[in-house]
Structure 1
Amino acid sequence: MSGPAEVRRVNKPWGYEIIWAHTDKYVGKILHVNAGEQLSVQYHERKDETVYLLAGEMKYWVQLPGDTELRDQRLVAGQSFRITPLTVHYMEAVTDCDVLEASTPELDDVVRIKDRYGREGTSAP
């Protein structure tokens, strides 16, 4: 149905996210990652996402197909990166970062491999 969308803020140990769209077909978020913080080393079984760095500088660590290690894909404002299902990845903010994320709607599809905030093995915020 057309009309205003619910917008909600979710506080995270690394900053916060604003979920500005959530339908059965897609999700839109803005993630604010504080300088020096990082998200979980993770992958998604179904979720397909693309991020666009609105502001800041980040190290976007990704294990590409065929690789055995994560590689640093340095992103600056104006660059984007797509993550397909089963791709191990995480974000590390060099400076405060604002990230626009567009994805498929599976918000709880997070398999945490490693997490500096003690959330390994969960999909908890």
Structure 2
Amino acid sequence: MLKTPSITPKPWGHEELWAQANRYVGKILFIKKGHRLSRQYHKMKEETIMVLDGTLMLEAGPYKKGGEIERHILEPGGVFHVFPGTIHRFCAEGGDVRLVEVSTTEINDIVRLEDDYRRVTDIPHHPPSSGK
């Protein structure tokens, strides 16, 4: 069945939802130069990203006090897997970035810890299960 992808504007760019099935979701994220997504984690959602265009600066680390957040640079073709409970942030520091994200279906499972656009979520009393 052919469907037209839906595009959702975001303060950092836009996302294009191109697949939403019973067991997976596919999106393309376009992040404008100088913008970044929330520092966030997911309680249940698991996702894998692959950079298509641009250079992505990715912050990622475990959800725990004092847990070290590492910075990774992903060029086109670079892949990163985000397990539930992993704090992460995608940044387009040097230019526009386009990436594909394939995930489980919990698309509204997002806890924002920091956000440049004032969309922070209240931090839960119980931390998520730790990422792998």
TM-score (structure 1 length as normaliser): 0.91
Query: What is the match of residue 111 of structure 2?
Result: 111
Please state whether the residue corresponding to 1:52 is helix, strand or coil. strand
Partner Cα separation in structure 2 for residue 90 and residue 114 of structure 1: 9
Which aligned runs of 4 or more in structure 1 are off by greater than 3 angstroms? 64-67
Q: Which amino acid aligns with 1:98?
A: R
Query: What is the match of residue 17 of structure 2?
Result: 19
Aligned residues: 120
The gaps in structure 1 that reach 5 residues or longer are none
Contact kept in structure 2, 1:6 and 1:21, CA below 8 Å: no
TM-superposed CA distance for 1:70, in Å, is 1.2
Matched, 1:120 2:120: yes
Please state whether the residue corresponding to 1:120 is helix, strand or coil. coil
Q: Root-mean-square deviation (CA), in Å? A: 1.5
The gaps in structure 2 that reach 5 residues or longer are 123-132
TM-superposed CA distance for 1:102, in Å, is 0.3
Matched, 1:37 2:44: no
Please state whether the residue corresponding to 1:88 is helix, strand or coil. strand
Alignment of 1:32-71 (within 5 A): 32-64=30-62, 68-71=67-70
Please state whether the residue corresponding to 2:91 is helix, strand or coil. strand
For residues 12-34 of structure 1, what are the alpha-carbon distances to aligned partners after superposition, in whole Å with 9 as ceiling and x for unaligned? 00000000001121000000000
Query: What is the match of residue 75 of structure 2?
Result: 76
Q: Percent identity?
A: 36
Query: What is the match of residue 8 of structure 1?
Result: 6
For residues 45-89 of structure 1, what are the alpha-carbon distances to aligned partners after superposition, in whole Å with 9 as ceiling and x for unaligned? 000000000000011000147871211011111111000000000
Partner Cα separation in structure 2 for residue 6 and residue 109 of structure 1: 24
Partner Cα separation in structure 1 for residue 111 and residue 67 of structure 2: 18
